[in-house]
Structure 1
Amino acid sequence: MMIREVQNSNMLILKQAQKSIDQEINSLQANLMQAALNRSLNEVLYLSKQSNYDNFELIQDSISYLSALKANNNNISDIWLYIKKSDIVLGTESKYQRSLFFSEVCKYKEDIDWDKVFSTSDFNYLGRKTIYRGTYQIPVVVFSESLPFIDKSPKGMLIVNMSESLFEKEMTNYNSEKVVFNYVVDDLGNTVYTNEQYYADSEDLNLIQTAVQMQLAEMTDNQDTMELVVEGKPFTIQYIQSKSLKWKYISVIPTGYIEESVNQIRNVTLLVVTISILLSVILTLYIINGLYKPMNKILSYINIIGDKKTVVKQDENHDEFTVINGIIDYVYKENQTLQDNFEKNKPMLQDKYIYDIINGKINSDFENMGLDIGIELPFNYYQVIVYEIGEETPSSLKKYKKSYKEDALKMKEIAEQTWGEQCKYFFLEKDDRTIVSLINAPKSFYELSGINDYLEKIQEYFVEQKYFPYVIGVGQSYKDIQNCYRSYIDALETIKYQIVKGQNSVIYIDEVRNSNSAVITYPLERESQLIMVTKSGNSEDVTRMLDSIFRENFNGRELSPEMVDNLFHALAGTAVRVIFEMRLTNDQIFREKQDIYKELEYRKSIGEKKEYIIQVFKAITLFAADNKHGQQYHILEKIDAYLEENYSNEISLDTVAEVVNLSTSYLSFIFKENSGLNFVDYVNQFRLQKAKELLETSSYNISQIARLVGYSSANSFSKVFKKYNGISPGQYRKL
């Protein structure tokens, strides 16, 4: 029976550890996704080695952002960004050459194929690695996220070394009083974490390692408990599968240890009982011997720790009853003081109690605790509503922000007028712009229209008080107090949905759940088209293309708030990319210095975000139209100078694009826009012009001329010459 209790207890611990670690990894993935959309990090991806020195402020912004990411997550040991174009690494303190970074700053013990890692897109787990810290070797778990976020051909890579402290906190500490071997194993059977180091001297260590390896292939269920015997020793192996990663969380308990513990408990219990009996006899004799002396000592202690007022005067003789009466008076006065303090702090205790309920911090005696502070929850169903009022306040101005405590009381009055005794309701001010209400009601309550009537009155109150903008998020009702936190999570999710439905509205969780299946439609081909059209300076085509992108994503589709944000961040990233590829700055495009990403965050509805993105692209297009011809003429001059020096060598579009610091797609566009030719035709005509000069002025034969102007053979040269001129080189020479 004892073994079964230990197994049940350990499985609960294992589930909690799995849930906590998975949540932390999911949170890391979400943070890295946001980082992949960060303006500074996306801008540095397009800097060449030379331009790195000219953009010191941008580099520092990126380093500061990485440093903030690390500071806000205690589980991150290192975070760094590799930039493919300039072959440099940005850490949390400085910028490094790639070779220096891996040899001195962040040296990995394992031989890692970084080129392969840097070519992999999306979020990936790279395995458990070891890094050197001076003379120490530190185990870390490594993850990567490619940049830009929507690009399948990464231009950069965020790498995070996650400390083992997360696993130790969630797995080791839970079992600090038991002998439990813990493992986290990935889908390839490699160890992500183990606490073997704490039991290095255990004679069972090798047996346990063997047992885990034997059972890995059998671990196919979501969770299970297995009992087996290895070399005559019994073990219990318990595991649970990760719900987000392909990891297994495993605990191994030497069953023999439990039997030893039971025997120790039995022996200690017998000893305690024996000692208790002896002490009882001694204490009885002592009480019989005299009562006054111990009572007097009690009074002395009270006088020492109390408020220096004596309970009875020490120089007078009193019998035992007088002494006891003095103690009773003292205890009564102290109890009255405690009662007064309790009543004074009761509202704060009630708020804390409600806050614990909505956050799921509940224990077995929770309902009795509520009764002690005057909160009765007699019904089975619980529902949370969140009210977000006004704009977000900068931290420097929060001390001047209006408190909504009086409004919470007024909202409680409205609830009382609407619902009466149909349910219980509680309100608390969560922060400087959020009020939370908890409803405890019977099932029959939700068959009425009480919620809707109440929310209409609340909206009228907000309008009357001119509380704009506001949004009210309504979570689903759940049975049992243990599930109340789920309603709170629902309500918070609905608040995010204001970006879709708009502000000054009531949003129910059912509206949000119907939107979660759709994903954004913005493929790389579409982005390339938008970039090309924007650089062409055609404002009407840009507006038409943006309208088309918005129709594809919003007409007849319900996107989640996260997907809406992702689409607009992707479009903002495209705008930033266009500005950089045109070798411009935000100051040149906009009259005032403007951060496109921050401006997007200030706009809360889809309509406002659409309007702003169109304005941004129109501003870029207008600037491109005004400067197109002058800039493109300068670029073609630079290309002609390069061709003049290199036409006899092999020339590719990628090489020329690198020379003029442009993307290949934009360079092709420039050729077509200004000459009506594609890149190959432009280079061929340049070479053929040189060939004609040699045919007219030199005595070189056809093969020699072919090599001099960059063709591999006389045959290929003749074919190209005839294609463009209608006659062969030999015929041209005779003219």
Structure 2
Amino acid sequence: MKLKTIPELYIIRSKKINNITLMILGCLLFIMLLFNIRSKIKEINKNEKAKALSAFFSISKKTQFIMSTLYTLKFDDKFNEYILKNENDVEYQYLKSILHKKITTGNNIYGSIGYLINFSTNKLNYYMTSTGIIDKKTFYKNNKFFGNIEEKIRSISDDGNYINIFINDKSYLNLNKSYWIIKLDKKSFFYEVGDRKNWYMKLDSILNLSDLENIKINSDIVKKISEMHKNSSSFKESIKVNGRNLHIFYLPEFDIELYYYQPEINIIRIIVMEAGKGIIQFLLLYLIIAIIINLIISPIKELAQKMGYGNEKETAEITYIKTKIDELSTTNVELTGRVKELSEIQKRKKLKDSLLGIPNGQDIGKFLWEKEYRIILMEIYDVDSIKNMYDNFRISKEFVMKYFMNEAIFEVVDIDFKSIAIIIENFPREEMEEILTNLIFHIERNFSLYFVAAVTDRYRDLKELPAAYRIAKKIMDYKYIYKQYKVIFQDIVNDNHLNKYYYPIQLEAKLISKTLGANVSEVKKVIQEIFGNDIEQKLTDKKSIREFSGLLYNTLNRILIQLNEMNMGEINKNADITGILKISDVKELKNTFEEIVTELCNFIKENSEIDIKTIKNSIEKYLLLNYMKDISLENLADYLGYSFKYASILFKKIMGDNFKNYLSLYRIKKAKEIMKNKEYKIKELAEMVGYNSSNTFIRTFRKYEGVSPGKYFFNIDSDI
């Protein structure tokens, strides 16, 4: 047997290494191809779902706007008068023409958004539309509504260009039924969805949103949609139908479901494209390896031989390898730190989703401990009164994390711009209260942020995280009632309080403002917010109703106090609000409260002692004499002799804008007048019209005029 020489053995060894390298690269290419195909399909599904969600949210906002439009129209005084009148009344035709004009004018605006509103009642034999008065039967026929449509609560139809939605208000003003037909233009109202042939709508029938004639509807998808039960959530996860995703959405305003049947994914095209990419990547990788071998490794070996390392070339190679290992180690440390940072961000997102009750398919047990825990919700007491809040809040959050570092096992979760939640292992209440009190004290002293902490009872099961967070939120709602506490524990706010139904102070302030402005329609909207849709389920006994009526009584008292400031104190002699405390029925309580507040609005409107013209002259005189000074609404309120709050309402009502905007426009107008007569430097001009800083003057001038004052006056001089 002939022995092979050393060069021959080297060639054989090199070929084996090349073959092994090619095999490894080929396997990597195949694995990468499968991974890329799977990732591409996931990406397409994700993008299609995101596109469908975006389109749905846009459509949902429009439907909310439609219902708001109907609500505003139904509370219009003329509309209510028209509903209450008989055809024989003298004002009936006049009110009919006014209402028809409102609908026509509104439809001219709504048509640009993509919908039209049409109105009728069970006593009328016609519909009011943007094109005129149309006979009911003809209108139903034109809009593809057949049969006894008025017996239905909701119904939809398709007339080719429009989706028509029939809404039956069962009882309005306890008199008769009112009917509304909303016409949704397929092209403009649903323009976000793009190709509408894959979108379906379901109420009492199933419609396709496409406006193309002779379009072929997928019978399998229609059958699947017809078998599905309605889901009241706005979106639920996609389901598979014939290998394609079906995304389901819900519009609560119309009680309608929308379905998006995702187009079929072209798997063959993806395989071809990804295979092409993989081959190119394989060739590039092979080329890079060849270049490294020929241009880096070989020259290093030759250089080592020339430097006398001919017999010790292994030493040079080892040195080179050690250098590369050190470089890789440094890179690995950097990447490990970045991965740890990203993992921490991902963990906090998962914890936040769990707190808020958002399903994310993750087991949070791997993030937390199997011990008893509490939820601490820390929130800034009064956001509006704090300057530089965002920077200080960020620093405070870091301080909280450092403060707890040596005290307990915990996780901090960002909630929003003013509050953070802390999931912390349970330890004695006295220790926790002392730690939190000291923490809040240090934050107040160092960062000028005034926090209050709400602490829940102990929990064991991590599945109760959302419920524990909701309890913490309810406790925080009582921060104004228990303002003497910096730390509010759950046992302070007992179960009775947690289950009470009440409305926040911000909503009460809104009601008082609308009442003082004598805005009846807005007042009714706020009262609806106060009572909500599920109040009867929450106020189930006489005690809870009595407590809630006490809150309403206090609100009415605060309105009467404001009326005293408006020199309308004589209403206190006639207004009997104590009767509201004796009511034990929720519906009667709402009706009585609404009647009292409406009477107050009417009283303010009819018996106001304010001479609008005199006060307007006083305001204009005050501005003329003082616009060049540093003045505020407080100064004007003192001059007029009213409270700050009432002066604010009065100014906007008389002058048509708030004090700040009106004063800015007034000063800019005066600046223009001054510059017409004589030229001044911008700084001098700013001081002459009441600005302490030329930068503030320039910024304000550009806000209202669109250009800087220098450019504005230069253009005027050029025109002259």
Flag the structure with more relative contact order, 1 or 2, with Cα contacts below 8 A and sequence separation at least 6: 1
- Does the pair score TM above 0.5? no
